[in-house]
Structure 1
């Protein structure tokens, strides 16, 4: 679960479930479930994660992140307003920023060489090699990949899956053997996928979540021959009207396609694809681009549309579900009046229509038109109940979106259907603002799949429910941590956090596909249930040919088990998928650390020495790759990882993804950044958080965003406040022994922009020679105090003076800078990686073949390669020998 309240596998099951679940039709009664002793021990680590997330929620509310405050708007996904803050502060980014950067990227020359896809392998979250207290392993999710936010499927076994920031993949075999088909588009951010009646594939870009790590898109694209073709930029429907929006849903009726976006509801002819989109309804048009309040910090949250319901008997009758998840006066359902204006719907039966109880809504219509279903997330419930935001699930048995609607489920009914959430102190719908899908079996209007954190199924229009995809297996009596028993007697489940669903056919059998934070899964539409009301027949389709993994970090070190001495271990921290580890001769990646992964340190000389960060600076260390030989199941003291978090392990004292680093000339010296700059000199032999010392206090309200050190000199970038209201940043410089610390003079109107500091590169030959990268967009696109111009700056005197060396770089957020062994520079950004050769001033795109997605971190490995952790397409490597040693003496252009 990747949000402020929970993270994947961040739940605990610590006592008996309160009540047995009602049996699904045809199933055996569900027994009361008791947590095993081993399960209690396994949950101890996870409890701390959930507690940290709850603390962040409380902090957000205490700081006034209320109903329509813009910073609360982003503080809910992954605990991190921080991801979005880094790209927006100190102001609001105008539409078109990413599009302009992508257009410039197309005209830039490339260096020689191509990138190699490192993580194009299956990733087994249940890998028995790493089955101990700190890993996800044995939870039951099996093979995973990154967040899937759109799915479409047909009757011929073709399946289309869209990654959150990974683009569209096609399978011709009912799932598996995937191939990317949208990599030529300017964005890989997926809102939704739909197959229309003519078998055309519609791709709405702009991830359909209001989470902090969701990217906006560039509109809607249509592929007329999805079985054989690939999306091209010329496939876009209409003009630029939907650029820089999030598209929550596409709905079809009356010859039109309707789009629910973050800037209102739009429509377009579904047959004539040229011509502009038509604005149908925006509740607060003054906040739209060009409006009188477009520059207001709340503008992005004033016109959010979530879904559209079209009457199957009369396509002129339409209901719009509109509203911001945390509540606003405009929230509600709207229908068109006789005079052609959109008016708030006053009553729909059980389905609430008041602004306080209409939040994120998803509709689903049966194929025969006899039923409409809806999920409603309530701002009022979310504000008053710390354990859920769900108001309910509803049905209109008239088939009309105007009802009357009847409630068929609430959190209590769902939690008693076999949910794995309740014992953690949470209820179904805890993240209903983030986790939602709803779909009706085309062959049975009473058969419905609903997705929240878990997957629920009803075969009788909501009279009874079954949790067919529980959050995880940990805690159920069938569960076992023993590698010899795999997941015990538990049936495999899906990953948590549901986002997409589709029905199709595989080998002539009706099949349902679900997408979540762990990828895409399938089961027979009318599958089997076990004694707990859980599905017995989920199959993960994440075979490694689909890689939508969202990495925050990467680390590389020599594999001590490789006899050649050349093999390496590649490890990295992931959104909602823990820490991955790929050893030199592995055919399958494993997960040796659970929850959300964050920053990573790997010993270049021995890749089994790994420091893995959870979130908020909660660091753990292993010196054996976290391989467990099974002894932990007999003696809990024999863990393979040790918690070594500095004292700033707190939501108010560290960023969600807090920076950590080591001295490249002294691998035993580590720096960790929270409110304080922490130092320790034991390297991977550290065993306790008490072994850190504070070298410097950045100040009340300040937290580190980037740290670097060489030869005892430390550079620490910080922000505080970090949101766009009163944003401030700075750079502190000092020694690891605590001496010589001072703040550099960085006036808001000075050379360096007043934007988020994302990365440093310190010259190993001269610690006074430093590069600093800035996130966000420059003054062209950002309205805010001191936004400035440029993304990369250089000093040769320890920060006394700086020079902008951005040159011809596109105006796009910069994330990671590296000084390469040949003294060239590499820079990771939200669109590509770039290279500047020694002795030159211009930049080129680094190599070819790297997908157009966010490069979060660059690291060099002991094998002479540069590694890129991308947030949506896994880890890639580039052989630096292709760059030569001087100017562009090897080039593809």
Structure 2
């Protein structure tokens, strides 16, 4: 998507996904967007190819290689279909495909153009040999102009003439895609998925930007399924005064908030797509929240009523889809707002003033807003030190509160800056992260400075090449850092030399934001697709287990020859210590847990600095197997 590459195409596995081979390839700008397999003959496969490129300064969602291909031998060979279909064109865009399960000779295709408007619907009744245009009403202009975002079509499993199309709204045709009606009802907009019951023709499900909805009467009415943790968070925050209260901005679902931290007790604030939120650290009733492109509001009554607080901000300036808004850690009335310039308020948003020049390289000439501030951080150690990062790879710092700014991005990668975070131990130290969603460049993602940006060191360590979206230092451990990535949350105990996955039960999904409440030692992650997770950092601080046995005589039971260790553990490096040693009564002993089984003592392992006693009874479990 973000650059030409030879990996695009259709891939096939014949061993349940263990190995894959590419079986269809058009070119380095065209990927496969939809596949339909004949349910009675799996050797018959249809694939729609979509020519698409996008970077911050350029977007193309159509091309000559967009089209439909068919294989009759399980993907070994393919032929491009053409009879009756739109001719190849530079404006042919995304194509949706669906086979009628009740009659696999009937196939439907939806066509959108570049820039995304619906062209129409086509149907084949002879297995794809011939196609005919079907759309009669409504006019194509009735549908949205976001065909690149939706573009899926489905067929009822028992009636080949009943077809569904996902757009901003959910559409249904009962005459083979000729006439369409809107069946969205009170369902949320932006339809991406649809699934029928195979036993009940009236039971259908729709997946959209609002979640999953269910209909028991074939789409006449819908009910939302609220018990699925699938919210897509862009940003989140913890109420520092009442840390069980969590707020977060979400894709098309405003600002969900929980007041008690319960998984099933959330309400929704503000409106639109939700992004940054902040809670006054002196008064939890005062909340700041925003929707897309920096539309910022303030509530003084716990979210019941809102005032828009943009006075002083030049609304003609470029602002990011996810406009950063942060509160000063020194003064609850001071906030910062990032457009193309940095704004500051000293009276809780009543009035804003500019404290920087344009910190970007300009608009970039793209079709989307580009050339904006994406991250802001005031040092918790000095109110005069403020860091700013932009979508066009610029990182800036001021050490005098905004009077003078220094561009310190010279040696950093040319890619989207996701976060700049000031250190909590040293004023001159800061961390910066990059996503990589720029122009398909493969560069490092995490950097550190100890001299206010004069120089930077790469601390990506062993972290794989994945987008990094946020970084936080642990105020209790100087070398410990946490990062939110597109593959989950990782942490390091040694400043970035070695990174490891935090916990073992968070879904591997994009984590866009993380926040830490140090008083409770709770880390919270806002994921883009699996809601929020909390992690008790006491699990890292120890102890993790109550008992660790040293089975000195190899009897596999705990007896007078063995040692029972009370645990206070530290992490370290070096040779693997012995499980137990011959020490005097109440002596000191080290016990190592070789967590990764490499027979070496490293930061994935644990060292116990313990006081021991002798005992009898069943052998306790060895750490780290203990809960």
TM category, shorter: 0.7 to 0.9
Deviation for aligned residue 1:554: 0.9
Q: Kindly provide the CA deviation profile for residues 56-112 of structure 1, in whole angstroms up to 9, marking residues without a partner as x.
A: xxxxxxxxxxxxxxxxx6xxxxxxxxxxxxxx7xx77x89xxxxxxxxxxxxxxxxx
Distance 2:467 2:12 in 1: 32
Is the 1:864–1:881 Cα contact (8 Å) retained in structure 2?
A: yes
Find the residue that maps to 1:457 and give its secondary structure. strand
Deviation for aligned residue 1:595: 1.5
Is the 1:618–1:649 Cα contact (8 Å) retained in structure 2?
A: no
Residues 333/678 of structure 1: CA separation in 2 closer, same or farther (3 Å cut): same
Is the 1:322–1:332 Cα contact (8 Å) retained in structure 2?
A: yes
Match of 1:579 in 2: 255
Match of 1:468 among 166, 183, 191: 183
Alignment of 1:43-62 (within 5 A): none
Match of 2:299 in 1: 622
- The answer to whether residue 191 in structure 2 is matched with residue 498 in structure 1 is yes
- Bigger Cα displacement from structure 2, 508-517 vs 449-458: 508-517
- The answer to whether residue 537 in structure 2 is matched with residue 880 in structure 1 is yes
Match of 2:434 in 1: 774
TM-score, scaled to structure 1 = 0.53
Q: Kindly provide the CA deviation profile for residues 840-883 of structure 1, in whole angstroms up to 9, marking residues without a partner as x.
A: 96444333322212221121236442221112211112233444
Match of 1:759 in 2: 419
Alignment of 1:626-775 (within 5 A): 626-627=303-304, 639-644=305-310, 647=313, 649=315, 653-683=318-348, 686-687=349-350, 690-701=351-362, 702-710=371-379, 711-719=382-390, 722=392, 728-736=393-401, 738-744=402-408, 746-747=409-410, 750=411, 752-764=412-424, 766-775=426-435
Is the 1:840–1:887 Cα contact (8 Å) retained in structure 2?
A: no
Distance 2:23 2:145 in 1: 32
Deviation for aligned residue 1:598: 1.6
Residues 353/268 of structure 1: CA separation in 2 closer, same or farther (3 Å cut): farther
Distance 2:37 2:491 in 1: 51
Distance 2:260 2:39 in 1: 56
Match of 2:447 among 760, 771, 792: 792
- The answer to whether residue 512 in structure 2 is matched with residue 856 in structure 1 is yes
Match of 1:814 among 468, 472, 494: 468
Match of 2:118 in 1: 390
Distance 1:355 1:599 in 2: 41
Find the residue that maps to 1:333 and give its secondary structure. strand
Find the residue that maps to 1:355 and give its secondary structure. coil
Is the 1:393–1:409 Cα contact (8 Å) retained in structure 2?
A: no
Residues 798/495 of structure 1: CA separation in 2 closer, same or farther (3 Å cut): same
Deviation for aligned residue 1:360: 1.5
Is the 2:319–2:339 Cα contact (8 Å) retained in structure 1?
A: yes
Is the 2:423–2:473 Cα contact (8 Å) retained in structure 1?
A: yes
Query: Which structure ranks higher in relative contact order (CA pairs < 8 Å, sequence separation ≥ 6)?
Result: 1
Match of 2:224 in 1: 540
Distance 1:361 1:464 in 2: 19
Q: Kindly provide the CA deviation profile for residues 523-564 of structure 1, in whole angstroms up to 9, marking residues without a partner as x.
A: 13545xxxxxxx2x3122232xx21111111111157xxxxx
Deviation for aligned residue 1:390: 0.7
Is the 1:858–1:867 Cα contact (8 Å) retained in structure 2?
A: yes
Deviation for aligned residue 1:708: 0.8
Q: Kindly provide the CA deviation profile for residues 8-31 of structure 1, in whole angstroms up to 9, marking residues without a partner as x.
A: xxxxxxxxxxxxxxxxxxxxxxxx
Deviation for aligned residue 1:621: 1.8
Alignment of 1:402-421 (within 5 A): 402-409=129-136, 411-412=138-139
Match of 1:376 in 2: 110
Is the 2:436–2:467 Cα contact (8 Å) retained in structure 1?
A: yes
Find the residue that maps to 1:306 and give its secondary structure. strand
Q: How many aligned positions are there?
A: 526
Find the residue that maps to 1:368 and give its secondary structure. coil
Match of 2:25 in 1: 282
Deviation for aligned residue 1:570: 0.7
Match of 2:487 among 805, 812, 831: 831
Find the residue that maps to 1:666 and give its secondary structure. coil
Residues 372/608 of structure 1: CA separation in 2 closer, same or farther (3 Å cut): farther
Is the 2:296–2:310 Cα contact (8 Å) retained in structure 1?
A: yes
Distance 1:276 1:842 in 2: 29
Distance 2:40 2:506 in 1: 48
Deviation for aligned residue 1:709: 0.8
- Bigger Cα displacement from structure 2, 493-502 vs 458-467: 458-467
Q: Kindly provide the CA deviation profile for residues 397-456 of structure 1, in whole angstroms up to 9, marking residues without a partner as x.
A: x3432234241345527xxxxxxxxxxxx8313212211332222222222222211112
Deviation for aligned residue 1:309: 5.4
Residues 743/792 of structure 1: CA separation in 2 closer, same or farther (3 Å cut): closer
Deviation for aligned residue 1:834: 2.8
Unaligned runs of 5+ in 1: 1-72, 74-87, 96-244, 246-262, 288-301, 414-425, 471-492, 528-534, 560-565, 628-638, 723-727
Is the 1:869–1:876 Cα contact (8 Å) retained in structure 2?
A: yes
Deviation for aligned residue 1:816: 1.4
TM-score, scaled to structure 2 = 0.74
Deviation for aligned residue 1:742: 2.3
Distance 1:316 1:814 in 2: 41
Deviation for aligned residue 1:810: 3.7
Residues 700/329 of structure 1: CA separation in 2 closer, same or farther (3 Å cut): same
Residues 539/409 of structure 1: CA separation in 2 closer, same or farther (3 Å cut): farther
Find the residue that maps to 1:731 and give its secondary structure. strand
Deviation for aligned residue 1:790: 5.6
Deviation for aligned residue 1:604: 3.3
Q: Kindly provide the CA deviation profile for residues 490-521 of structure 1, in whole angstroms up to 9, marking residues without a partner as x.
A: xxx22111111121157x66411111112211
Alignment of 1:154-303 (within 5 A): 263-269=8-14, 273=16, 277-284=20-27, 287=28, 302-303=29-30
Match of 1:518 in 2: 210
Deviation for aligned residue 1:579: 0.9
Distance 1:843 1:280 in 2: 36
Find the residue that maps to 2:356 and give its secondary structure. strand
Q: Kindly provide the CA deviation profile for residues 738-764 of structure 1, in whole angstroms up to 9, marking residues without a partner as x.
A: 3232223x43xx4x4444332222245
RMSD between aligned alpha carbons?
3.7
Match of 2:578 in 1: none
Unaligned runs of 5+ in 2: 53-60, 363-370, 543-568, 573-604, 607-622
Distance 1:305 1:645 in 2: 47
Is the 1:713–1:735 Cα contact (8 Å) retained in structure 2?
A: yes
Match of 1:457 among 155, 160, 172: 172
Residues 317/357 of structure 1: CA separation in 2 closer, same or farther (3 Å cut): farther
Is the 2:470–2:485 Cα contact (8 Å) retained in structure 1?
A: yes
Match of 2:89 in 1: 355
Is the 2:340–2:360 Cα contact (8 Å) retained in structure 1?
A: yes
Match of 2:32 among 305, 320, 338: 305
Find the residue that maps to 1:576 and give its secondary structure. coil
Deviation for aligned residue 1:707: 1.3
Distance 1:406 1:675 in 2: 47
Find the residue that maps to 1:616 and give its secondary structure. helix
Higher strand share: 2
Residues 512/681 of structure 1: CA separation in 2 closer, same or farther (3 Å cut): same
Compare CA radii of gyration and give the structure with the larger one.
2
Match of 1:367 in 2: 101
Distance 1:312 1:830 in 2: 34
